[in-house]
Chains A and B, each alone.
Chain A
Amino acid sequence: MQAVLEHSPPAGATALNQTKVRGKRTGLLLLSPSVLLLLVWSIVPLVMTLWYSVQNYNLVDPTLHGFAGIDNYWYLLTDPDFLHSLLNTFILVAGVLLISVGGGTLLAVLYDQEFFGRGIARIMVISPFFIMPTVSALLWKNLMLHPIYGVYSAMMRAVGLTPIDWLARFPLLTVMMIVAWEWLPFAVLILLTAVQSLDGEQREAARMDGAGPIARFRYIILPHLGRAISVVVMIETIYLLTIFAEISVTTAGGPGVASTNLAYLIYSRALLQFDVGGASAGGVIAIIIANIVAIFLVRAVARNLEA
């Protein structure tokens, strides 16, 4: 008797619970269209990629079909090109991050100073960001770095040096420079606004404390920029893992695989070698790598944003 009394909740509470449940249900119902759309949008391609990655599927060889098991993965992972492209991906990301964040920080501090024509100079330093990747790659390939009629070649010839065929001799480095040129403005833009938000009295207090320009940069400005830098690193990494247009336009991944990154490798597997199965396996690996990077990145950034 006692137990029964204890276990039966009062009538009012039941009614309340029912209202709560109904409210929740309505909420779910209203949410469902967007959830469904998102699901279709992301899950369907994912499932298709996973499916093709375990299939024998080559566009030029219809006789080859059926379940492939882990063959596609095996061929990809044992292919020296794959490791090379993975390495290239990381070199590209790290190099561009280093140049754009390092240069961006210095430029941001420079453009924070008062000087004649600062407004125009700021617009000019930002402008490469508005040029689309294919155009800027073409611009660099044909206008600036072309061994015969490029601006740099003309400059080198003018001082008696032999022009360098940049894209043939340093393909990865050149692609890195082009991409860094595109992303430097983004870093400058974000970091400049961050520098400007630094309290003027803090700098003055540091001056009163006897800090010279270098000490002020090291101990006052750089810590102040910490958050902004972590945001720049996160956003740039997301985009830089999938650089494609610049490679496609300038070197087409070559010579050999010297400038092929993972994104370009997947493209060449699928649309140059018509091996859909192999390309899908590459896609799955790219997803896994992106997620690993994302986990570390989000953790680091979250810690920085909290402080």
Chain B
Amino acid sequence: MATVELKNLRKTYLTEEIIKGISLSIEEREFVVFVGPSGCGKSTLLRMIAGLEDITSGDLLIDGQRVNDVEPGKRGLAMVFQSYALYPHMDVYKNMEFGLKLAGMPEAERREKIEHVARTLQLEPYLHHKPGQLSGGQRQRVAIGRAIVRNPKVFLFDEPLSNLDAALRGQMRVELSALHRKLGATTIYVTHDQVEAMTMADKIVVLQKGVVEQIGSPLELYHHPRNLFVARFIGSPPMNFFPAIFQGGDSAGSSVQLRDGSILYVPVTSPGLLPGTKVTVGIRPEHVELASSGPNSGVVEVVERLGAITLVHVRMPDGEIIVVQTDGAVLTEVETRVSLTLPPRNCHLFAPDGLAFEACHRHPLAA
């Protein structure tokens, strides 16, 4: 098992810089997930680690060795592709055997390894099937098997579950987590699906336009997003935002005034901020509370009942839509007037440059 270290990694295509200096260190046995909107460079970064893309500048270290100029096959990595990329003219056995054969492993040893992996992944009955005869989930397993059998230092996954249907994706997610626990291999996983990121990762790297926005554990990102982008990207439905005016702060919190004049005292520090500065208050839909009357009132525009929960979309007087996630049994109707309560302990404050104010108390799960 291995560590991976990225030191100020950059990638330029023609004149456009795609990866703008990323530094990151991945510990042994860690499951790291790269997330971000499409075009953020997460796949490019993974391919640079794999060796499929050249590194324009910066250093890539695997186990402390600089591998910038090492061939992909010699870096000791294995990759699972989005399209699985199985060799269509070879059966499952030969697909798994290919890398071992090229590495010059003796026949008996190859057979033993492949059979062991096939047992682990329940692929034994399909060893002599061609990929074309397998279902999507089985192909996915073969692709994973082909990676495992090479006993790599680091596993790379490039959106491996995005071609599967929702039910299978959930199942494979659990299987992959279990497999990671069992193999204990260092893993880098690229996805745009935040459920995958939240459930599987030890550490999430949020990328946007080739820049790291935040690195942290899933709950750290959820409870303490570093800036507006991460706050908006992590969590579904996304966080609600209100414009507000900063009034002043002390060591226990900061007070801001919302559009309707109500004052909110949020437990975050605000060193050096001038009163009167425009700030943004953020609160997740699951933390907003509905009341029949009071300040912050708006008209219910849409009610989405998902059974266990209900999403209430409220149109505020300034035209903004605020989403509230409440109990599935709530009786709120469309076109009625409701009032929103914002519990201060769940509010986030963001400065004009988008950065979040430090919370006075870290969330116990995100320490």
Binding site for B on A (CB under 8 A): 199, 201-202, 204-212, 215, 219-220, 223-224, 226, 307
**Is the CB–CB distance between A204 and B89 below 8 Å?**
no
**Is the CB–CB distance between B150 and A201 below 8 Å?**
no
**Is the CB–CB distance between A205 and B79 below 8 Å?**
yes
A205 to B82, CA, bound (A): 11
**Is the CB–CB distance between A211 and B83 below 8 Å?**
no
Additional 5 contacts, C-beta under 8 A, given A204-B85, A207-B52? A205-B79, A207-B51, A207-B72, A208-B72, A208-B77
Please name the residue on chain A nearest to B52 by beta carbon. Answer: A204
A212 to B71, CA, bound (A): 9
Per CB-CB distance, the 6 closest pairs between chain A and chain B, nearest first, are A210-B73, A209-B99, A201-B85, A205-B85, A223-B89, A201-B81
Instruction: Give the residues in chain A near B86, CB-CB below 8 Å.
Output: 202, 205
A211 touches which of B85, B98, B150 (Cβ 8 Å): B98
**Is the CB–CB distance between A206 and B79 below 8 Å?**
no
**Is the CB–CB distance between B89 and A226 below 8 Å?**
yes
- A-B CB contacts (within 8 Å), total count: 65
A307 to B132, CA, bound (A): 10
**Is the CB–CB distance between B89 and A211 below 8 Å?**
no
**Is the CB–CB distance between B102 and A209 below 8 Å?**
yes
**Is the CB–CB distance between A220 and B103 below 8 Å?**
no
Tell me if B233 counts as interface (CB < 8 A to partner A). Answer: no
**Is the CB–CB distance between B77 and A220 below 8 Å?**
no
Instruction: Give the residues in chain A near B82, CB-CB below 8 Å.
Output: 201
Instruction: Give the residues in chain B near A215, CB-CB below 8 Å.
Output: 102
Which residues 93-129 of B have a CB within 8 angstroms of A? 98-99, 102-103
In the complex, how many angstroms separate the beta carbon of A2 from the nearest chain B beta carbon?
Answer: 52
Tell me if B4 counts as interface (CB < 8 A to partner A). Answer: no
**Is the CB–CB distance between B89 and A208 below 8 Å?**
no
Question: Given that A202-B87, A223-B89, A224-B89 are known contacts, is A210 also in contact with B102, CB under 8 Å in the complex?
Answer: yes
A212 to B102, CA, bound (A): 9
Tell me if B50 counts as interface (CB < 8 A to partner A). Answer: yes
Mostly helix, strand, loop or mixed at chain A's interface?
Answer: helix
Binding site for A on B (CB under 8 A): 50-52, 71-74, 77-79, 81-83, 85-89, 98-99, 102-103, 146, 150
In the complex, how many angstroms separate the beta carbon of B280 from the nearest chain A beta carbon?
Answer: 41
Question: Given that A201-B81, A201-B82, A215-B102 are known contacts, is A208 also in contact with B87, CB under 8 Å in the complex?
Answer: no
**Is the CB–CB distance between A209 and B83 below 8 Å?**
no
**Is the CB–CB distance between A199 and B83 below 8 Å?**
yes
Instruction: Give the residues in chain A near B87, CB-CB below 8 Å.
Output: 202, 205-206, 219-220, 223
In the complex, how many angstroms separate the beta carbon of A45 from the nearest chain B beta carbon?
Answer: 43
Instruction: Give the residues in chain B near A210, CB-CB below 8 Å.
Output: 71-74, 99, 102-103
Instruction: Give the residues in chain A near B74, CB-CB below 8 Å.
Output: 210
**Is the CB–CB distance between B102 and A205 below 8 Å?**
no
In the complex, how many angstroms separate the beta carbon of B41 from the nearest chain A beta carbon?
Answer: 18
Instruction: Give the residues in chain B near A205, CB-CB below 8 Å.
Output: 79, 81, 85-87, 146
Please name the residue on chain A nearest to B132 by beta carbon. Answer: A307
Q: Which among B73, B78, B103 has the highest number of chain A CB atoms within 10 Å?
A: B73
A209 touches which of B52, B89, B150 (Cβ 8 Å): B150
Instruction: Give the residues in chain A near B150, CB-CB below 8 Å.
Output: 209
Question: Given that A210-B102, A226-B89 are known contacts, is A204 also in contact with B73, CB under 8 Å in the complex?
Answer: no
12 contacts between A and B (CB under 8 A): A199-B83, A201-B81, A202-B87, A202-B88, A205-B85, A209-B102, A209-B150, A210-B71, A210-B72, A210-B73, A212-B73, A220-B87
**Is the CB–CB distance between B98 and A208 below 8 Å?**
no
Please name the residue on chain B nearest to A205 by beta carbon. Answer: B85
**Is the CB–CB distance between A209 and B81 below 8 Å?**
no
Question: Given that A220-B87, A223-B89 are known contacts, is A211 also in contact with B81, CB under 8 Å in the complex?
Answer: no
Q: Which among A199, A201, A209 has the highest number of chain B CB atoms within 10 Å?
A: A209
Instruction: Give the residues in chain A near B98, CB-CB below 8 Å.
Output: 206, 209, 211, 219
Instruction: Give the residues in chain B near A199, CB-CB below 8 Å.
Output: 83, 85
